[in-house]
């Protein structure tokens, strides 16, 4: 099966270039995520409140992503992806050079974040454009598996640098910046069908209200992993950046297989069921973060439990693919997809900008870190309830304006000599 998949990808130059671009940006992400919290703690010595406040400028580009991608509506998705990779690289280079400048830190954090958030909807839209309606989950799973596999490279580099060179943030950030520049070149290599190039500037429709609600609540859920879980390891358990890197490596190695399987599960089990199960499991993870020290585990076992929960939490971030696949199925028009994905990211960042500040300043510092994670468990249960409202049309029915199987007509890349469908084999 693996050889068959590799052959399918190698026969598809556009898919191969896309996955290589995703891999390169995944390296950058692995470097950043395993370095940034320790970088803030070592270089700037910030408190939990200040760490929470840092999320506002970091998440601001995510809130504005619908406007940013809408302003680039005249560009094809892969060209927007190239711009996103370029901004990510500039941000990484800048972070390596700012030393102890707060202004520089904020500026390049925002530039990095702008690139990362613009790439999110483009990556999902391009992935789904390279498969039929029945392959959305599979293509998203391939992209997610590739990305988390690349995290291994980024995290391994951080681990080796810290253990053998020392806390050399200039070297680690520059390595991530070079990988992002490679991703920009690879994105430019992709050639999408002209019929798929039409994009809406901005889409807000009541038919997508459940998707909007799921995206909004995700803004609170993701901060558990992005901000509070690593901050728990760094400040409560005193773990170095190399530990975070090792956990990223573990979750990424497992995630290569997990995300491929998750993509198939989304296609077979359904987006709604996957989203409901995710809400339940994440609630348990949050309670584990909160009470690992209070359940009677001896010695170092509480922090080991946190390690396991962190790895599981990381892998479950891939559930965003279920939301993307759900949106693609209910989209009233094909050109709504990338614009609506951008709107979903904007909505989840509206929450994501506020949660770290209130979580850090008013809950963590005043009541204790446990209650941040209890709140996260409550949010996950709300996600479960919203997910029960998700309904998708049966395959072949489509949304009201998509009765014909326009997914194949719109997305198939035809061989010029034989008319053979190059992309949509049942791989």
**Planar angle of CA 270, 272, 274, nearest 5 degrees:** 70
Whether the pLDDT of residue 275 is over 90: the answer is yes
Q: Say if 411 falls within a structural domain.
A: no
pLDDT for residue 214: 92
Q: What pTM, to 2 d.p., does this model score?
A: 0.66
Structure tokens at 143: 């992209």
pLDDT for residue 93: 95
Instruction: Give the number of domains in the chain.
Output: 1
pLDDT for residue 200: 58
Task: Over range 321-347, report the average pLDDT.
Answer: 82
pLDDT for residue 49: 67
- Residue 83's pLDDT band, with cuts at 50, 70 and 90, is very high
Task: Say which CATH number the domain at 63 has.
Answer: 1.20.1250.20
Q: Say if 78 falls within a structural domain.
A: yes
Give the residue numbers spanning the domain of 19: 9-400
pLDDT for residue 1: 45
Percent of the chain past pLDDT 70, that is, above it, reads: 83
Region at 375 (left for phi over 0; alpha for psi -120 to 50; beta for the rest): alpha
- Main-chain dihedrals φ then ψ at residue 326, nearest 5 degrees: -60, -45
Q: What number of other Cβ atoms are within 10 A of residue 305's Cβ?
A: 17
- Residue 424's pLDDT band, with cuts at 50, 70 and 90, is very low
**Tokens 């094809």 appear where?**
76
pLDDT for residue 202: 67
Task: Over range 326-330, report the average pLDDT.
Answer: 86
Whether the pLDDT of residue 401 is over 60: the answer is no
Q: Say if 333 falls within a structural domain.
A: yes
Q: Say if 415 falls within a structural domain.
A: no
Q: Say if 4 falls within a structural domain.
A: no
pLDDT for residue 404: 42
The predicted-structure confidence for 351-370, as pLDDT tens digits, reads as follows 877 777 676 667 887 888 88
Whether the pLDDT of residue 108 is over 70: the answer is yes
- Residue 135's pLDDT band, with cuts at 50, 70 and 90, is low
What helix, strand, coil percent values describe the chain, rounded to 5? 80, 0, 20
Residues 6+ apart with CB under 8 A from 103: none
- Residue 4's pLDDT band, with cuts at 50, 70 and 90, is low
Q: What's the DSSP call for residue 293?
A: G
Chain centroid to Cα 101, Å, comes to 28
Helix axes 102-129, 320-330, angle to 10 degrees: 50
CA dihedral 265, 266, 269, 270 (to 10 degrees): 180
The predicted-structure confidence for 35-80, as pLDDT tens digits, reads as follows 887 788 788 877 766 776 777 777 778 777 777 777 777 778 888 8
Task: Over range 335-357, report the average pLDDT.
Answer: 78
- Residue 9's pLDDT band, with cuts at 50, 70 and 90, is low
Q: Say if 394 falls within a structural domain.
A: yes
The predicted-structure confidence for 188-237, as pLDDT tens digits, reads as follows 988 766 544 455 566 778 888 999 999 888 888 888 888 888 888 888 88
411 burial via Cβ count (<10 Å: 0-12, 13-18, 19+): buried
pLDDT for residue 344: 82
Mean pLDDT of the chain: 79
pLDDT for residue 426: 36
Structure tokens at 86: 């370029």
Task: Over range 270-295, report the average pLDDT.
Answer: 92
The predicted-structure confidence for 239-263, as pLDDT tens digits, reads as follows 886 787 788 778 878 877 887 788 8
pLDDT for residue 385: 93
pLDDT for residue 278: 93
The predicted-structure confidence for 138-175, as pLDDT tens digits, reads as follows 788 788 788 877 878 888 888 888 878 877 888 999 99
Residue 24 CA to residue 134 CA, distance in Å, equals 27
Structure tokens at 231: 């901050």
Residue 301 CA to residue 296 CA, distance in Å, equals 9
DSSP, collapsed to helix, strand or coil, labels residue 421 as strand
Whether the pLDDT of residue 281 is over 50: the answer is yes
The answer to whether 71 and 339 are in contact (CB under 8 A) is no
Whether the pLDDT of residue 88 is over 80: the answer is yes
Chain centroid to Cα 309, Å, comes to 18
Q: What's the DSSP call for residue 418?
A: T
Decide which of 212 and 426 is more confident: 212
Q: Say if 32 falls within a structural domain.
A: yes
Residues 6+ apart with CB under 8 A from 266: 136, 137, 140, 141, 274, 321, 322, 325
Q: Say if 412 falls within a structural domain.
A: no
CA dihedral 203, 205, 208, 213 (to 10 degrees): 90
The answer to whether 372 and 99 are in contact (CB under 8 A) is no
153 burial via Cβ count (<10 Å: 0-12, 13-18, 19+): buried
415 burial via Cβ count (<10 Å: 0-12, 13-18, 19+): exposed
pLDDT for residue 410: 40
**Tokens 């989209």 appear where?**
331
**Planar angle of CA 6, 20, 195, nearest 5 degrees:** 90
Largest distance between two CA atoms of the chain: 69
pLDDT for residue 132: 61
Region at 398 (left for phi over 0; alpha for psi -120 to 50; beta for the rest): left
Decide which of 283 and 267 is more confident: 283
Core vs surface per residue 93-120: b (16+ CB within 10 A) or e: bbbbebeeeeeebebbbbbbbbbbbbbb
């Amino acid at each position: 099966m693996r050889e068959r998949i590799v052959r399918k990808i190698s026969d598809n130059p556009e898919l191969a270039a896309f996955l290589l671009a995703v891999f390169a940006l995944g390296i950058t992400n692995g470097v950043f995520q395993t370095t940034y919290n320790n970088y803030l703690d070592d270089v700037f010595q910030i408190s939990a409140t200040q760490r929470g406040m840092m999320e506002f400028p970091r998440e601001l580009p995510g809130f504005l992503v619908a406007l940013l991608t809408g302003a680039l509506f005249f560009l094809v998705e892969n060209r927007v992806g190239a711009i996103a990779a370029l901004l990510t690289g500039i941000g990484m280079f800048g972070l390596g050079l700012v030393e102890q400048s707060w202004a520089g830190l904020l500026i390049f954090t925002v530039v990095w974040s702008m690139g990362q958030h613009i790439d999110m909807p483009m990556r999902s839209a391009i992935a789904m454009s390279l498969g039929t309606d029945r392959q959305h989950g599979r293509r998203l799973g391939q992209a997610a598996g590739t990305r988390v596999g690349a995290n291994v490279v980024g995290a391994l580099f951080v681990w080796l640098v810290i253990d053998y060179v020392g806390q050399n943030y200039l070297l680690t950030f520059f390595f991530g910046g070079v990988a992002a520049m490679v991703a920009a070149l690879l994105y430019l290599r992709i050639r999408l069908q002209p019929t798929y190039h039409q994009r809406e500037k901005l889409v807000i429709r009541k038919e997508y209200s459940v998707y909007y609600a799921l995206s909004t609540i995700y803004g609170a859920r993701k901060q558990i992993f992005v901000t509070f879980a690593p901050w728990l390891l760094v400040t409560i358990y005193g773990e170095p950046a190399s530990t975070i890197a090792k956990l990223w490596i573990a979750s990424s190695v497992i995630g290569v297989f997990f995300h491929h399987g998750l993509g198939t599960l989304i296609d077979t089990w359904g987006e709604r069921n996957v989203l409901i199960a995710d809400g339940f499991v994440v609630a348990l993870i949050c309670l584990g973060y909160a009470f690992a020290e209070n359940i009677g585990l001896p010695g170092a076992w509480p922090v080991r439990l946190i390690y396991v929960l962190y790895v599981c939490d990381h892998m479950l971030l891939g559930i965003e693919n279920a939301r993307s696949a759900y949106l693609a199925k209910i989209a009233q028009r094909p050109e709504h997809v990338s614009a609506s994905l951008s709107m979903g990211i904007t909505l989840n960042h509206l929450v994501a900008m506020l949660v770290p500040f209130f979580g850090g300043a008013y809950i963590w510092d005043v009541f204790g870190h446990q209650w941040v994670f209890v709140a996260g468990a409550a949010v996950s249960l709300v996600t479960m309830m919203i997910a029960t409202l998700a309904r998708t049309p049966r395959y072949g029915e489509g949304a009201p304006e998509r009765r014909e199987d326009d997914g194949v007509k719109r997305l198939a890349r035809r061989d010029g000599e034989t008319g053979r469908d190059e992309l949509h084999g049942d791989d």
